[in-house]
Structures are given as structure tokens and as C-alpha cells.
Amino acid sequence: MSTDYSPLLESYRFENGISLKNRVVMAPMTNFSSNEDGTVSGPELQYYARRSKGAGLVITACVYVTRGGKGFAGEFGADRDELIPSLRELAEAIKGAGAKAVLQIFHGGRQCPPELLPDGQTVSAGNVPAELPRGGHGPVPRALSEEEITGIIADFGAATRRAIEAGFDGVEIHGANGYLLQQFFSPHSNTREDRWGGSLEKRLTFPLAVLREVKHAVKEHASSPFLVGYRFSPEEPETPGITMAETFALIDALKEEGLDYLHVSQQDLWSKPHRGTDDSRPRIEQIVDRAGDGVPVIGVGSLYKADDALKSLETGISLVALGRPLLIDPDWVQKVAEGRAADIKTELDPSAQAELVIPDPLWGALIHTPGWMPIKA
């Protein structure tokens, strides 16, 4: 008896009226392949177009909203109006292939490589360096001043305006993966004692101010429905660090402000919580419960096979995001639609770069970073 994958192919309509052709989202993934001036490169445009034929929604790699927040070599930008034509090319490449296009906007904070910054100085909520996965610490950041904080908030609004003018269907605020918004929310990195830090409520001030500024830009500049989403990481390993209880407080606060979706950043969709809840169910189920009917949730995390993605809908998520699976097999959605789910590739073929339309810098990173990607022997 064949499996019915039709739930993945059902259309989805957001509250604001924007409709997707299916429930599959291309997750935002850094690709290291943009031009030095912050414009989108030709190989990048081809890479996105190749993957936009199947997914209902494509969320781009993160773009820096200010030059001091550039987090990656080969990252494209949205920090000045001169980049709008380049952004428009990207929006048209995605939408022309049949998907809705969302621009992920971000500031790397203390995670930025100093050599990419105009003054070589990383910044954050406080002067606490990041704890590195393999031990040790990152560079010591400088605590942002009040004036700088309000400037960065305005930068998120300006980047949103540029996304609107470029023809995107929405923006996603990147509040996950240890970047600046998470640094303000985290008790590990935010040691401030002013209105931007201290209590849980004060640590929420910056993320909520960014959301308000983005929504204000949409109200001022968008003449048609425009999505505003927020991506977050549900817990931190550091002590002190963000717990599930604090994650629930973040969800409550974001819901109260109002937004179009929440996007949960996890390596494994089914991961279990560590602290801050007595509920042993996977984090994603608890997050969906907390979000309630008021805001849809996008789930992501190692869903390589169609069966994995189908099962993920049982958690209550509205949309399934695929990152690495769409790098490995850009025809993932089409194969499901054509009844060929068994043909989906789940390991990267080292000889298939041209067929997969993956730019050289990203290809090099995929092939030479152990553990990032299942690679075909």
C-alpha cells in the first residue's frame, strides 16, 4: 500500500492572504557565494531558481542590515539602497520559478568574523565572548551604546523597506543561532543593567523593538500583503542560557505583538528539551502548543525523506522547512508530487555539483566540512 503524501502538497494560506502552493519551505542557508560588494552573484541566482520550482516558500540566506553586522564571507546585503536592484533580481528568480520569496534579515553581533567588519570590532548586548563548540571563546565584543542599538533597530526597518521595493513577499527576522537578537535575549550574553537587559522582560526589549520597526516599515511601504516571520532557537547549552521556560515567554511576547509565523531553528526536529519544562515531549510539540491557533509554526531539522517530512506534520506544525535535503535533491518536492518519493536522494553526490546547481564556495564548504552533510560514498 503506497503512502499518501498529499498533506505535504496541500496549499497553505496565511492570515494576511498570501497563499503557498504547498507546505514545503526552503530553509534559509548561508551559501558564501555573493559578490564582495554585497550583490547577489549569478551562480546564486541559478542556485535559488533551481530550488524554487518545488518549494512553496523560499527563505533566503541571511542578509546583513548594516555593514557592522556582516556574519559571513560571501554574504549579500540589504544595508543600502544601491543593493535594491540586486535584491530584485533574486526575488524575481525565486518568484519566477513559482515560489514565494522571503528575505531573511540579520545582524551577527559577536558572531561576526572581525576581519569582515569595517573597524574589526565585534559588538553585542554586552562584552561576553561566545563559547565555541570545540572549547575556548570567540573575540570579546564591545557592548553596544544606546545610540547604536536604536540605529540597528532602524536598520532592520530600512532593510525591510528595501525588501518590499525589491518585490519580496516577506522578511524573516533572524533571532536564532546565537546572532544579535538572541544575544540580547540570552542571560548568557546580555549582562546589561539598563532598559535593554537584566530581567527577562528587559531582555525581550530589543527583539520586540526590531519586530515593531519591521512591522512599521511594512505598514508604511507595502501596498499588498507582506509576511513578517521570526526565527528563534528554543534553548541554549550555556549556563546561564535560554531555557524552554524563557522560550515560551518569547513566544508569548511575539504573539502579543503580532506576526505571520514563527520558525523554529533545530538540527533535529524531534529533539527533546533540557531544562525549563517538566514536559518530556519534543520541543517542537511544546512550541506548537504554546503558539496555539494564533500563529503558524515552521519546523525544520534533518527531514531527508518524504516519510520524515510527512511525520513532522503530526507535531502540529503548519509548514515543513527543508535545508540540506534541498541541497542534496532540488527535485525533492517534484518527486513527491509525481509519486516518486522513493527516488529522493538523501546523500550528497560528490560528482553532481553541476546537476545540483551549487555555487563553488558553497560546494567547497559542503564537501570539506565533516558532519555537515551526509555524503555518498
Catalytic site residues? 179
CA 114 from centre of chain: 22
Instruction: For residues 177 and 27, give the distance between their C-alpha atoms in angstroms, rounded to a whole number.
Output: 14
Grid cell digits, residue 15: 492570515
Grid cell digits, residue 38: 554585497
Among residues 300, 361, 352, the alpha carbon closest in space to that of 331 is found at 352
Instruction: For residues 67 and 38, give the distance between their C-alpha atoms in angstroms, rounded to a whole number.
Output: 10
Instruction: For residues 206 and 287, give the distance between their C-alpha atoms in angstroms, rounded to a whole number.
Output: 22
Q: 128: which DSSP letter?
A: P
299 phi and psi angles, rounded to 5 deg:
-110, 150
CA angle (169, 173, 177) in 5-degree steps:
135
Q: What is the CA radius of gyration of the chain?
A: 20
Instruction: For residues 54 and 34, give the distance between their C-alpha atoms in angstroms, rounded to a whole number.
Output: 23
CA angle (96, 97, 101) in 5-degree steps:
75
Instruction: For residues 175 and 264, give the distance between their C-alpha atoms in angstroms, rounded to a whole number.
Output: 10
SS3 of residue 177 by DSSP: coil
Greatest C-alpha distance within the chain: 63
Contact by Cβ (8 Å): 279, 243? no
Contact by Cβ (8 Å): 74, 33? yes
Contact by Cβ (8 Å): 32, 72? yes
Instruction: For residues 249 and 311, give the distance between their C-alpha atoms in angstroms, rounded to a whole number.
Output: 27
